[in-house]
Structure 1
Amino acid sequence: MDELFLPLKPKVQIYIDDILLISRGNEGEHRDLICKFFDIANRYQLKISLEKSQFFAKNIQFLGFDISSSGIKPSSNNVSTLMKRKVPKTMKELYSFIQACGYYRRFIPRYSKFCETLYDKCKGRNKLITLSENDLLAYNHLKEFLINAPKLAHPNTTGQFILTTDASNNTIGCTLSQIQNNVEKPIAYFSQKHKKTVRACAPTYLELYAISRSLHHFKYLLTGCKILIRSDHKPLLHISNSEDKKYIELLEDINQYDCTITYIPGEANTLSDYLSRINHDDSDDGDSKEPDCNVLTMVTNIRETEGDAQQIIK
């Protein structure tokens, strides 16, 4: 399916039989995109379920996300369903909750840190469990982050990205952000639990490792773009020419990107600031500089048929 609509990429996004058409401009441009889409659908005798499709929408739900011109959030319906779940009483129920949260992990700062204690409860065969005070704290943190999930901005691939990283003995975490309309806005969050072989390493190695892993995670976005990396670990400023063997491999990975490392004080390296900013930005102050029309069309249940797609769009 992807190959059929390759000429329309990236304005057409496909997941199995669900398709999203995205335009940033006026309705005429979006209409042209829809016509091109149906031309291809007709050529390969594909049929669209109109009952399950939306055309010329400003806001849309797609694959569990609420999408608009200003950004993307977890679907309010999905979050509401997740919040109605009772506290897990079995390993299977807990693992199911973790997996559901994992689908939205890019909205949850330090996701790996909060899941660490919960994952430990899921080892072995399914059985009854009782969550400890720390387990409940992590469980409630995940629910709170989902309820108050920030709207993540759409990335501007022609602009500079900001990667703010941090590392502890157990996990790494980062925020990918961008200055848009003179405001720094989060694009995504990433966190990862260390392997046992990494946990014993020195702080400088862990901080450099955090940068390397974060760049790799967002490689699909950051390749070919300018990147400002922010870290609260000052020794990283002078490590670029290090000949220490334990750093060389990480530096080689990092040097594949067009990036500059800069230092920020530890007290400034917080994620709560990003959350407060983006929540403030959701308010309508009349100064939005988004395009006049950002149009979305979603089609679902596309399948092979003898039908004429051109007749459907008419």
Structure 2
Amino acid sequence: MTRIFEPLLEHAIIYIDDILLFSRDMETHKALLRRFFDTANQYGLMFSEKKIHLAQSEIDFFGMHFSQGSYQPQPHIAEELLNFSDQSLILVVQTPEEEPSPMGPEQTRAIQELKKIAQSPPALKIPGEGKRILQTDASDFYWGAVLIEELDNKKFYCGHASGQFKEAKKHYHTTFKEALAIKNGIKKFDFHLRGYHFEV
């Protein structure tokens, strides 16, 4: 499916047979839909009327709620993240890398704050015409990346990612860990970075 609609990928998200088309305004969207259906007819593709939703200003797609140029997890996904954070906390505390510190009021407050954030995460901007910036960082065990768009001297957060280094990579020199964070960030945000000049 991706190969068939390759000329439209700048304005489409495709996963197997689920397709999301997006545009800045209705006129552009009408033109995009014409191109989409012309291509579909050319390849003999058929669609279910019940599953087609045209000209939506808000839509839920693969666990994310898209609205007016921004997106955030749907409530049920935020709830799953909250439950995951409870379980992962147990694993982090029991990590044998270092002696765990006892839980105190400061840790309890931090956990409560994280739970609030997980329940209603801030909306992220869908990148547009601004300058794309990838910020990354690495510690001994973890890496993180943030995708930012700079537009009219304002910065908008477009996405974030993080992960834990595999055991062998935890022994890498700091410089190599920083390079891995950049590599992982580019891989994570490939869809938003491919074909664009961006700053690291």
Q: Normalization by structure 1: what TM-score?
A: 0.49
Aligned residues between the structures: 190
- Asked if 1:153 corresponds to 2:152, the answer is no
Residue 191 of structure 1, CA deviation: 1.2
Alignment of 1:77-96 (within 5 A): 77-79=76-78, 82=80
- Asked if 1:189 corresponds to 2:160, the answer is yes
Separation of aligned partners in 1, 2:50 and 2:117: 34
Partner of 1:254: none
Structure 2 letter corresponding to 1:210: A
- Asked if 1:218 corresponds to 2:199, the answer is no
Q: Deviations 1:199-240 (Å, cap 9, x if unpaired)? A: 2344444334433443444344435544443xxxxxxxxxxx
Partner SS for 1:118: helix
Residue 184 of structure 1, CA deviation: 0.8
Separation of aligned partners in 2, 1:28 and 1:39: 17
Q: Look at both structures and tell me which one has the larger radius of gyration over its CA atoms.
A: 1
Check whether the contact 2:148–2:159 (CA below 8 A) recurs between aligned residues: yes
Structure 2 letter corresponding to 1:118: L
Partner of 1:52: 51
The 1:193/1:55 distance shift into structure 2, 3 A limit, reads same
The 1:147/1:227 distance shift into structure 2, 3 A limit, reads same
Structure 2 letter corresponding to 1:16: I
Q: Deviations 1:54-92 (Å, cap 9, x if unpaired)? A: 211111111211112321111235435x38x9xxxxxxx
Q: Deviations 1:115-155 (Å, cap 9, x if unpaired)? A: 4753798xxxxxxxxxx969x99986764333231211112
Separation of aligned partners in 2, 1:3 and 1:167: 36
Partner of 1:5: 5
Separation of aligned partners in 1, 2:114 and 2:133: 25
Separation of aligned partners in 2, 1:12 and 1:2: 9
Check whether the contact 1:116–1:193 (CA below 8 A) recurs between aligned residues: no
Separation of aligned partners in 1, 2:187 and 2:42: 39
Separation of aligned partners in 1, 2:154 and 2:130: 13
CA RMSD of aligned residues (A): 3.7
Partner of 2:97: none
Partner of 2:98: none
The 1:154/1:55 distance shift into structure 2, 3 A limit, reads same
Separation of aligned partners in 1, 2:17 and 2:136: 37
- Asked if 1:118 corresponds to 2:117, the answer is no
5+ residue gaps, structure 1, are 86-96, 102-113, 122-131, 230-314
Residue 29 of structure 1, CA deviation: 2.9
Partner SS for 2:47: strand
Partner of 1:108: none
Partner SS for 1:14: strand
Partner of 2:70: 71
Partner of 2:36: 37
Identity across the alignment (%): 30
Structure 2 letter corresponding to 1:177: I
5+ residue gaps, structure 2, are 95-101
Partner SS for 2:3: coil
Partner SS for 1:174: strand
Check whether the contact 1:166–1:207 (CA below 8 A) recurs between aligned residues: yes
Separation of aligned partners in 1, 2:46 and 2:187: 38
1:174 to 110, 125, 145: 145
Partner of 1:19: 19
Residue 177 of structure 1, CA deviation: 0.8
The 1:198/1:11 distance shift into structure 2, 3 A limit, reads closer
Residue 6 of structure 1, CA deviation: 3.0
Separation of aligned partners in 1, 2:35 and 2:195: 29
The 1:193/1:31 distance shift into structure 2, 3 A limit, reads same
Residue 172 of structure 1, CA deviation: 1.5
The 1:199/1:43 distance shift into structure 2, 3 A limit, reads closer
Separation of aligned partners in 1, 2:3 and 2:186: 28
Q: Normalization by structure 2: what TM-score?
A: 0.71
Separation of aligned partners in 1, 2:194 and 2:9: 18
